[in-house]
Structure 1
Amino acid sequence: MNKRLIASTFLTSVIFIAPVCAEDVVVDMALLTTNGGQPIGEIIISDSDYGVVFTPKLSGLTAGQHGFHVHANGSCESSSKDGKTVLGGAAGGHYDPDNTAKHGYPWTKDNHKGDLPSLSVNADGTTNTPVLAPRLTLKDVQGKALMVHMGGDNHSDHPAPLGGGGARVACGVIQ
């Protein structure tokens, strides 16, 4: 290879690699287990003109839709409720600074601010499709937990509370 071709290839690869900006926050995510967490990747959180963008780079999840939320507390530790261990329970409930006590869509104004679009996980257990939370800023979510739930989310409290999603399966703390 000649020097121009090498330089051109290098510059092209540098230009097309999506850098993480200094303002972005990288959240390390781990599966929730009783004996610690198994790392499954990261989620990059960025402010945009349209709200906060959550870009997952995760693997090891079950295929299909998964509920995805910002939780009130910056912890992924387990807690105990009614004598049972709740994995990720120390994260508390969905981030709800306005005390609406209502689950809804990420773009509606009378519900938890921590309600995010569902994550869509591919057949191979990976997800990398960004989702947008138009009512949040990066400053809002710092110090909170980011949670992936088993099963989808209908963004309603009916017929089941909190979107009908299942157990907490993966978590990371937003620094």
Structure 2
Amino acid sequence: MKSLALVLLLTSATSMAADLVVPMHLVDEKGVGVSVGKITVTESKYGLVLTPAMQGLKPGLHGFHVHQTGSCEPKEKDGKMVPAGAAGGHYDPAGSNVHGTPWGDGHLGDMPALFVDENGSATHAVLAPRLKLSDLAGRSIMIHAGGDNHADHPAMLGGGGARVSCGVVK
């Protein structure tokens, strides 16, 4: 509950910059599917506050990242079509090649996990402390099937699994 209060405080302390709205869609190996809502991104002095208004997702924690490229189209890898594969990997401008915590020194695109309630709705804001609005231009926001342990062990990229929802930042 303390983290929710902190995010609400941060949201109210945001700068006067205009919010960025990112439409989110389901993705699979055939392409971009139906809308599942949107994420509103607001810059604060503490980093970016991402506030989802989404429905139709599997309940639980989901890996949540900024990806390199502004595309949610599938792409072939190792002979298989990867949902939203054209988004590339996690945004990593420093070339750390490390999946880490949102406040650490790994991929800049590593964000806290997204919580989806038992009804399939995501409405809880997430704080990405190292990101700025300017980092998002031309990129995509990705939601993965499973949670994220913010490490490369025991599974690479936090073990978040398949890409299930994606939105292009314009």
- The two structures share one fold, judged by TM-score above 0.5: yes
Task: Kindly report structure 1 stretches of 4+ aligned residues shifted beyond 3 Å.
Answer: none
Query: 145, 159, 162: which is aligned to 1:164?
Result: 159
Residue 22 of structure 1: how far off its partner (Å): 6.2
| Equivalent residue, structure 1, for 2:126 | 131
Is it true that 1:32 corresponds to 2:21 in the alignment? no
Q: Where does structure 2 lack aligned partners over 5 or more consecutive residues?
A: 1-11
Which residues of 2 match residues 25-174 of structure 1 at below 5 A? 25-33=20-28, 34=30, 36-108=32-104, 110-174=105-169
In structure 2, give the amino acid aligned to 1:36.
V
Count residues with an aligned counterpart. 155
Residue 142 of structure 1: how far off its partner (Å): 1.4
Residue 135 of structure 2: SS of its match in structure 1? helix
Residue 23 of structure 1: how far off its partner (Å): 1.3
Normalised to the residue count of structure 2, the TM-score between the two structures is: 0.88
Residue 155 of structure 1: how far off its partner (Å): 0.1
Normalised to the residue count of structure 1, the TM-score between the two structures is: 0.86
In structure 2, give the amino acid aligned to 1:131.
V
Distance (Å, rounded) in 1 between the aligned partners of 2:158 and 2:50: 19
Q: Where does structure 1 lack aligned partners over 5 or more consecutive residues?
A: 1-17
Distance (Å, rounded) in 2 between the aligned partners of 1:137 and 1:23: 13
Distance 1:91 1:35, change over 3 A: closer
CA contact (8 A) 2:144 2:160 kept: yes
Deviation string for 1:122-167 (max 9, x for gaps)? Answer: 0000010000111110011111000000010000000011001110
Q: Which has the larger radius of gyration?
A: 1
In structure 2, give the amino acid aligned to 1:96.
D
Query: What is the root-mean-square deviation of aligned Cα atoms in Å?
Result: 1.3
Distance (Å, rounded) in 1 between the aligned partners of 2:118 and 2:35: 19
In structure 2, give the amino acid aligned to 1:139.
S
CA contact (8 A) 2:31 2:84 kept: no
Deviation string for 1:5-51 (max 9, x for gaps)? Answer: xxxxxxxxxxxxx9xx7611100000003153110000001100100
Distance (Å, rounded) in 2 between the aligned partners of 1:45 and 1:96: 19
